[in-house]
Structures are given as C-alpha cells and as structure tokens.
Amino acid sequence: MKIGFDNDKYISMQSQKILERIESFGDKLYLEFGGKLFDDYHASRVVPGFRPDTKINMLAKLKDSAEIILAIHSGDIERNKIRSDIDIAYDREVLRLIDAFRGRGLLVSGVVITRYREGQRAVDSFAERLERLGVRVYRHYPIEGYPKNPKFIVSEEGFGRNDFIETSRPLVVVTAPGPGSGKLAVCLSQVYQEFVRGVRAGYAKFETFPVWNLPLTHPVNLAYEAATIDLDDMNMIDPFHLEAYGVTTVNYNRDVESFPVLNTMFTHIYGKSPYNSPTDMGVNMIGNCITDDEVVCAAAKQEIIRRYYQAACAFKRGRVEKEQVYKAEFIMNRAGISTEDRPVVAAALKRAEETGAPAMAIELPDGRMITGKTGSIVGPAAGALVNAMKALAGINQEIDLIAPIVLQPIRNLKINHFGSENPLLHSDELLYALSICAATNPIASLALDQLPKLRGCEAHSSVMLTRADASVYRRLGLNCTNEPNLNGNRLYL
C-alpha cells in the first residue's frame, strides 16, 4: 500500500507541542482528546501511514504525569449508540477503553455522564454498573443556553452545578467513545471549578480532524464531514483566526460556536484569554506530516465513498433517516467523485450479474480483482476471502484447500445442532476449517499465511453482509462496503 504520511515525525512533533502547551499553563492542563485514542481506523484509512494506535502510544510516554477521564453522553446510552467501525455500543466501549488504558499503565480517574437528566433508567443502570465495578461516576447536567449564554454558563448555576471530578496529576486527558460526547464542556467545567478551588488550570485541544492547515474542501477534511454526518458537523473557515491573524484556517461549527464560552471563561478567571481563536486551542500536527498529498487525497476519497455506502445501508436497516444518505451523497459531489470511482464496486456487481446471485470482490494490493460467488458450500464473502488468499500465495484457483471430511461435520453442526437455516459457511467458519487443514496440508498453511497481506485492501459486496462475515472482514483490516440490498428475503443479518 502506498504511504503518504510520516508517522514517526508526527509522534515527535505532536508530543513536543503537547509538552509546550502543558508548560504554558500553571498547575494543571485539561487536554481534550478528539477522535479515537485506540483503534483510530478512520485516520489510518484517510491518511495512509498513520497507525491506529499512534495516539495512545504517544500518551503512554506521559503516563506518569497523566490521568484520563472518559465522557459519555447520556443520550448515547439511551439510544444504544453504536461505534460503527468496530460494531460495539458506546457504553460497552467505555468499559473496553478502561481496560485498554489500564493495560497500558494509564490511570483512569472516572467516567462522567454528560447532559444527565433525572429518570433516565438506562443511564442510571449503567452508572450503577460502573460503580459496582469500582469506577467513579460523575454527572454533568444540561445548561440552558449552552453555548450561547456564557455569563450564565460560567457561574455557580451553570458549570458550578456539575459534579467536580477529583484529579491528582498535572495532565488530565478527557476522551470519549465517540464524537458529540461533551468532552469540551467537561474540560471547561473542570477549569472553572478548579479556579473556584484556587487551582490555576488550562485547556487545550488535540483534535485530529478537521486538519486546520489543509484547505476547506481538501478530501481529508471532507472525509471528516462524511464520518460525522450524524452529528450535523460542518467544516468552516475559522472566523476568529481570520480576524486575529489574517490567516485562513479550517475548524468546525461546534468549536466555532463554543469559542465565546472559552474566551469568556478565561477572561473571567485570568482577566485575559490565552487564545484568539478555536484554531489556537488546538495542538494538531497531522497536516505537517503528510508526505504525499496525492496518496492521501486518493485514500480520503475512497473513505468518502465508503461513508456513503455505510449511510445507505444504515438507512436500509432503519437505523438512520434518509437525510443522512443525502448528506453523504452531497459530500461525494463536493469531492467530485461517485461510487464509480470505487473499482471494487463494479467488480462485485459484474460478478453478481453473471451468476444471478450475491457476489463479493476484493481488490488486492497489486490491483488484481478477486471475486467470490454464492456456492453450494460457502457464501460469497467466504469464497472471495479464500480466492484472495490463493491469488496472493500463487495457488491455482482450482485446488481445493479444505477437505470435504472437514467441511461436512461443520455443516452438520450448523444445521442439525445449532438450528441454522443457512447451510453456507461464513468467513469465520471457513477460516476455522482452513486452519484445521493447515495442520497437515502445507498448501492450506501457505494460504493462511497470506491473511496479513489483506489488511488495507478494498472489498465490496453486492448485498449487505451478515454480522459474522462483516466482523471477519473488519478484524482482518479490509475496507469493506456493501450495496444496500438484502440477501433475498432475509431481514435479519
């Protein structure tokens, strides 16, 4: 895969900027971590060369002076909001993140539930579960007029009403399972309450996207809009930065709207704000580490198309409104692309038309298109996967890698004991069978050795994948999209 980003340079520059920002304040710095600390697959897809664990590795270097607060929006708990890239609900993702942070030796101070309202049964149940597990829980409440009534917000009736989160280290990182969780408000509330307690605390923001020093309509920034269409986020020129410095930079609407709150708060506390614009608040160096803009643009455009398919399938499943599909399509138009610019789509649809049944296509790193059809034993996703492994290993496509003596017991188990109505093997079942055969068959073993080469490859299905197949493709690191079509009359995937 072509690389367009210097990851090592980024870690060095980003770490230095964070340290400089810590030093510029007094007793404590609240650092809002936007995006994902773990498993930032969006960034790795959009900026090839960016590693999914880059940010957490950087933070781990500061673990002796840092602690973490996790924020989760009460509404996301009630709606059972799903982190789409790994198909896990936000409340469960909080638990996973706590385990992951602790596994890296990082201190987790607690979880704050934002916009909390009395009587939210699912929210209260989640809070009780956390407390039983020994995790501190704090509640922050809706503030009337936020963020457009800064005088009320920065008062005892505003931020002062929130639970104060006990912290002990100079760097406090505020992160969340996903966007729109209220991280900024948590930081500002803490800075205000620290001041009331006689502690001089500062605020800064580490937000990967949008990239402030790339053009407004750069594909990387448009890909961010496509990824956040459910939040109604919109990239925009930072008017405060333009007025203060005469320099055009990119930010997004929520930060621009919230900036007067931050400005008023710092003015109220210190007599003068250290920031002249939302862009000033950030410590984002990602734009400075792009080494090949052409590679990055091409990758970002593919992500925009993937987000369109994601929205279309979510609408088909009844998870989102049609408006999100329109927004995703509009962003594609702004980027000057369409689904025809995703070659693997045409390959999958052609194979489906030829066979009259669902089909799957995978684009290998060298550009070869490998397809899988609906067979008598395996489904198209499993078929495409094994065909891709054969192609990468140079194995003749006519050679059977899995002996019938292995396949038949698995099929019998599915149908006769598990009660499955679908006799076709899913991708995970096929890989288990292939692993068994690899113990005695060197050719099967050779095929399995090719799996790491599939990471980052593009894939497309002519129908919506089952959960089992989608999970395998995701865990293998393939960038998979689906037509918003049901497989026959099956409603449950």
Tell whether 259 and 145 lie within a shared domain.
Answer: yes
Q: Which of 450, 459, 455, 460 is nearest to 476 (CA)?
A: 455
Tell whether 244 and 357 lie within a shared domain.
Answer: no
Residue 125 placed within a domain:
yes
Tell whether 67 and 157 lie within a shared domain.
Answer: yes
3-state secondary structure of 148: coil
Average pLDDT over residues 324-341: 97
Higher pLDDT, 197 or 87: 197
pLDDT attached to residue 255:
87
Tell whether 394 and 282 lie within a shared domain.
Answer: no
Residue 199 placed within a domain:
yes
Q: What are phi and psi of 111, to 5 degrees?
A: -120, 130
Average pLDDT over residues 46-72: 90
Q: Could you tell me which residues come within 8 angstroms of residue 298 by beta carbon, excluding any fewer than 6 positions away? A: none
Residues spanned by the domain of 68: 7-215+235-289
Q: Are strands 458-461 and 359-363 parallel, antiparallel or unpaired?
A: antiparallel
Average pLDDT over residues 165-188: 92
Rounded to whole angstroms, the Cα distance separating 352 from 344 reads: 12
> How many CA within 13 A on the CB side of residue 103?
9
Tell whether 353 and 463 lie within a shared domain.
Answer: yes
Task: Identify the bridge partners of residue 361 per DSSP, sorted by sequence position.
Answer: 371, 460
Among the three residues 268, 289, 310, which one is the final residue of a domain in this structure?
289
Residue with tokens 């409340």: 91
User: Among 182-196, 399-413, 449-463, which range has the highest average pLDDT?
Assistant: 449-463
Per-residue DSSP letters for 287-303?
Answer: GGGBS-HHHHHHHHHHH
Tell whether 100 and 26 lie within a shared domain.
Answer: yes
Tell whether 38 and 187 lie within a shared domain.
Answer: yes
Average pLDDT over residues 183-211: 91
Residue 345 pLDDT exceeds 60: yes
3-state secondary structure of 206: strand
Q: How far apart are the first and last CA of the chain?
A: 32
Residue 434 pLDDT exceeds 60: yes
Task: Identify the bridge partners of residue 171 per DSSP, sorted by sequence position.
Answer: 29, 66
Q: Which of 169, 212, 191, 293 is nearest to 34 (CA)?
A: 212
Average pLDDT over residues 173-196: 91
Rounded to whole angstroms, the Cα distance separating 438 from 194 reads: 60
Average pLDDT over residues 8-33: 87
- Whether omega before 147 lies within 30 degrees of 0, making that bond cis, reads yes
Of 143-152, 275-284, 352-361, 371-380, least confident by mean pLDDT is 143-152
How does pLDDT run across 235-251, given as a tens digit for each residue?
Answer: 999 999 999 999 999 99
Residue 26 pLDDT exceeds 80: no
3-state secondary structure of 115: coil
Among the three residues 289, 321, 354, which one is the final residue of a domain in this structure?
289
- Quote the strand ranges of 337-396, DSSP E: 359-363, 369-373
Residue 155 pLDDT exceeds 70: yes
Q: Where are the alpha helices (DSSP H) in 235-336?
A: 239-245, 253-270, 278-281, 293-316, 322-334
Per-residue DSSP letters for 446-478?
Answer: HHHTTGGGGTT-EEEESSPPPHHHHHHHHHTT-
Tell whether 284 and 366 lie within a shared domain.
Answer: no
Q: Could you tell me which residues come within 8 angstroms of residue 434 by beta carbon, excluding any fewer than 6 positions away? A: 386, 401, 402, 444, 447, 448
Residue 234 pLDDT exceeds 70: yes
Distance of CA 388 to the CA centre of its chain: 27
Residue 423 pLDDT exceeds 90: no
Q: What is the mean pLDDT of the chain?
A: 91
Residue 230 placed within a domain:
no
Average pLDDT over residues 419-447: 88
Tell whether 277 and 204 lie within a shared domain.
Answer: yes
Asked if residues 373 and 355 have their Cβ atoms less than 8 Å apart, the reply is yes
The total domain count for the chain is 2
Residue 311 placed within a domain:
no
pLDDT attached to residue 233:
84
Q: What are phi and psi of 458, to 5 degrees?
A: -95, 145
* 219-227 helix and 322-334 helix, angle to the nearest 10 degrees: 180
Residue 337 placed within a domain:
no
Residue 313 placed within a domain:
no
CATH number (domain holding residue 371):
3.40.140.40
Residue 24 pLDDT exceeds 80: yes
Residue 162 pLDDT exceeds 90: yes
Tell whether 109 and 191 lie within a shared domain.
Answer: yes
pLDDT attached to residue 404:
77
How does pLDDT run across 79-133, given as a tens digit for each residue?
Answer: 988 886 677 899 999 999 999 999 989 999 999 999 999 999 999 999 999 999 9
Residue 302 pLDDT exceeds 80: yes
Residue 296 placed within a domain:
no
Structure tokens at 281: 């608040």
Asked if residues 22 and 171 have their Cβ atoms less than 8 Å apart, the reply is yes
Residue 491 pLDDT exceeds 60: no
Q: Where are the alpha helices (DSSP H) in 87-238?
A: 90-103, 121-132, 150-153, 183-196, 219-227
Question: What percent of the chain is modeled with pLDDT above 90?
Answer: 66
Tell whether 258 and 404 lie within a shared domain.
Answer: no
Confidence of residue 56 (pLDDT cuts 50, 70, 90): confident
Average pLDDT over residues 191-202: 90
Confidence of residue 304 (pLDDT cuts 50, 70, 90): very high
Among the three residues 243, 273, 289, which one is the final residue of a domain in this structure?
289
pLDDT attached to residue 412:
78
Tell whether 265 and 374 lie within a shared domain.
Answer: no
Burial class (CB in 10 A: 0-12, 13-18, 19+), 491: exposed
Residue 492 pLDDT exceeds 60: no
Residue 308 placed within a domain:
no
CATH number (domain holding residue 21):
3.10.630.10
